[in-house]
Amino acid sequence: MDLTMSTTTTSTSPAPDHDLGHHLPSSTSFVIPPASSPAAAMPPPSALPPTIPACDPHDGPASLQLIEDLTTHAGAIQRRVLREILAMNAGTDYVRGFLGADAEARGADELAAAFKERVPLVEYEDVKPYIERIANGAPSSLISSKTITELLTSSGTSGGQPKLMPSTEEELDRKTFLYNLLIPVMNKYVAGLDEGRCMYLLFVKPEITTPSGLVARPVLTSYYKSRHFRERPDSPYTRYTSPNEAILCPDSAQSMYAQLLCGLARRGEVLRVGAVFASAFLRAVKFLEGHWRALCDDIRAGRVDGSRVTDPACREAVARVVARPDPALADAIAAECAAASWRGIVRRLWPRTKYIDVIVTGSMAQYIPLLEFYGGGLPLVSTMYASSECFFGINLRPLDRPEDVAYTLLPNMCYYEFVKVKKDGEEVRDGKVVDLVDVEIGGHYELVVTTFTGLYRYRVGDILQVSGFHNAAPQFRFVHRRNVVLSVDTDKTSEDDLLRAVTAAKRLLAPLGAILSEYTAYADTASIPGHYVLFWELTPPPLPASGDGDAEAAAARVMAACCAEVEAGLDAVYRRCRSRDRSVGPLEIRVVNPGAFDALMDLCVSHGSSVNQYKTPRCIKHPDAIAVLEARVVGRFFSDAVPHWEPPFQVDAAGADGAGVTPPLA
């Protein structure tokens, strides 16, 4: 992922999650259209850009003009996108089920009006049966006239399993178009990016083969394995320090070692560093902290340690990068890594680096302090906003501060609608549905998309706030995921998920004669990897104060089992992050003394909460709230087991067994 930033915005709000982003400052002026209808004042265009426009990333002026054309005529392009999607898919089972068997015979305007009147807004559970039928072998025409070529696994979950999003070959062209726009935007704000390489630490994740033979995999794994990435034209802007074979190595530990080795060997060429998510970049820093001596040994000897990188293709490709011994480079790297502090280590190891390119919006915002510590003042850039459902938009001002990052949604990527949301006490209430150009500055909305791949009026689950407009296209700050209270990496745990897991675990307290009277949680990202922390207040306190070693050991065993039981009760994405990816650390329960949650309530009331309406928050983020409970901790316990995880689909030698999938609908 790569580029962008921002200078003039018109609102404040939190940060985003379902994205792939980056940043930069802007000298261009941004027109704020009238609040009534930004698109209404625009004259009808003589010719609109194609739905997937040609975009040469090396032609900066033409690419930037294309952004202007798309955003100026956002309303007209959105109307055309909806007409194209419906004309293409009116004959699918899903659309005909709402619009009738004669849908294909209707005029474009009539079809669009009927679509918005009759097709309901849906969530994943509503479309899941159609997608699972396709996973089991039903034709793509259930939802798409184009052949569905793969299913993209979302980090969000449904029923404990990742969501499966349909994708087509054409969609890769649309994603490539968006990536191509990032380069000219970034070049506006950072000079000389064509004078070296980028050290982007990119990884693939496991693929699953569905019973129909379709591959299900994360959206970025899909892109990295596609011809669009593997056979990309040589360009000074997409020259990575890592060879493709290192990025595509399926073993994450080998891939990490190989990519860091290449990045260090090409230290003098590196102009920008990054990963997709802030959490992944910080895991790389932690890995470097534990392996820099071995990496220096390889650079000094001009080799790749065969015991650390056993994948033949990866090892051979990396060997070509480190083919010559370089003792001087190894000594220089070792001197930096052996220093007393790792503050600014990124800038010290790669002194030509201009910025760190990672997503720092949404749940990734919690990693900003660590990134600033290791980055030594390097700008943090979030360039684009995307999800498994669709790629959405770009950050036109990539050097803005992380808290100011706003994404401009490109109107040709899908058809957008927005449900206005309002928080009333603890309940989020839905309001009216509006189109892309009709959102209001400062308003909060849930994103709804109709895609070219077979999703219709689908609620993505992202809550966005409008910060301004670029021409007629709104700019959004990502606020949060609906219902998500905990996240460290790609895991997304809701309050209901947490409640179910805690309810199952608290039964294990019986041998201690204690009950769980209150609990809350937060994601602790001070360590790498981060981990979930649960504060539990138990009645009566089960931890012996007498110094009885046997009783203490028994209590510790029970509490460790409670930690493991909570983890076992969380969803499949969390369990995969713990057991396979190792991107989330063992869950921790911190037992607090009696009265700790009364002190938390006192703090919340002092900050304006109503005593009458106060409910214990099941997730806390404010440092003062964490400090109140932390000061009352009397015991700390960690999970002593790795939770079980297995793919939702299994394919054996005889074929697909269909595990985890409901049978095709009649």
How confident is the model at residue 602, as a pLDDT? 83
Tell whether the model's pLDDT for residue 8 goes beyond 50.
Answer: no
What mean pLDDT do residues 222-235 have? Answer: 91
Is 39's pLDDT higher than 80? no
Amino acid letter, 508: L
| pLDDT (average), residues 146-153 | 94
The DSSP line for 636-647 is: EEE--SPPP---
The stretch 56-76 carries a mean pLDDT of 92
Does residue 315 register a pLDDT over 50?
A: yes
Instruction: Compute the distance between CA of residue 247 and CA of residue 238 in angstroms, rounded to an integer.
Output: 14
- What was the pLDDT predicted at 75? 95
pLDDT higher than 50, residue 587: yes
Residue 294's pLDDT is what? Answer: 97
Verdict on whether the full-model pTM lies above 0.75: yes
Which pLDDT band, with edges at 50, 70 and 90, does 608 fall under? Answer: low
- For residue 104, pLDDT beyond 90: no
Predicted local confidence at residue 551, as pLDDT: 81
Q: Which of 122-126, 218-222, 440-444, 495-499 has the lowest mean pLDDT?
A: 495-499
Residue 159 pLDDT greater than 60, yes or no: no
Q: Please indicate whether residue 665 or residue 239 has the higher confidence score (pLDDT).
A: 239
Mean pLDDT, range 29-40, rounded to an integer: 34
- What mean pLDDT is predicted for residues 366-386? 91
Per-residue confidence (pLDDT) for residue 662, from 0 to 100? 29
pLDDT number for residue 45: 53
- pLDDT above 60 (res 25): no
What confidence tens digit (pLDDT) does each residue in 617-658 have? Answer: 888 888 888 999 999 999 999 999 999 888 766 533 333 333
Q: What is the DSSP letter of 98?
A: H
pLDDT at 518: 85
* Helix/strand/coil (H/E/C) assignment for every residue in 455-494: CCCEEEEEEEEEEEEECCEEEEEEEEECCEEECCCCCCEE
Reply yes or no on whether the pLDDT at 664 is more than 90: no
pLDDT on residue 29: 28
Higher pLDDT, 314 or 53: 314
Name the one residue in this structure whose structure tokens are 């962008």.
4
From residue 17, alpha-carbon distances to 25, 371, 575, 611 in Å are 22, 17, 19, 32
What is the rounded distance in angstroms from the CA atom of residue 52 to the CA atom of residue 228?
Answer: 15
Q: How far apart, in whole angstroms, are the C-alpha atoms of residue 350 and residue 355?
A: 11
What pLDDT, in 10s, does the model give residues 415-444?
Answer: 999 999 985 434 456 678 999 999 999 999
**Which value, to the nearest 10 degrees, does the dihedral of the CA atoms of residues 623, 522, 525, 398 take?**
-80
What band does 614 get if pLDDT is binned at 50, 70 and 90? low
pLDDT bracket for residue 161 (50, 70, 90): low
- Of the spans 84-98, 365-379, 481-495, 498-512, which averages the highest pLDDT? 84-98
Q: Beta strands 473-481 and 407-409: pairing type?
A: antiparallel
At residue 168, does pLDDT exceed 70?
A: yes
* Greater pLDDT, 67 or 616: 67
What is the structure's pLDDT at 666?
Answer: 25
Q: Is the pLDDT of residue 13 over 70?
A: no
Ordered by start, the domain boundaries in the chain are 193-208+237-481, 485-638
Mean pLDDT of all residues in the chain?
A: 84
**Which tops the pLDDT comparison, 552 or 270?**
270
Q: Is the per-residue pLDDT at 301 higher than 90?
A: yes
175, pLDDT greater than 80: yes
Q: Taking a C-beta distance cutoff of 8 angstroms, is the pair 9, 475 a contact?
A: yes
Q: What is the pLDDT of residue 201?
A: 95
Residue 604 has pLDDT above 60, yes or no: yes
Cis ω before 529 (30° cut-off from 0) = yes
In a 3-state reduction of DSSP, which class is residue 601? helix
Helices 252-265 + 278-301 axis angle, to 10: 60
Give the per-residue pLDDT at 603.
Answer: 84
Among 3-7, 142-146, 181-185, 507-511, the minimum mean pLDDT is found in 3-7
Of 218 and 155, more confident: 218
Contact criterion met (CB below 8 Å) for 242 and 260: no
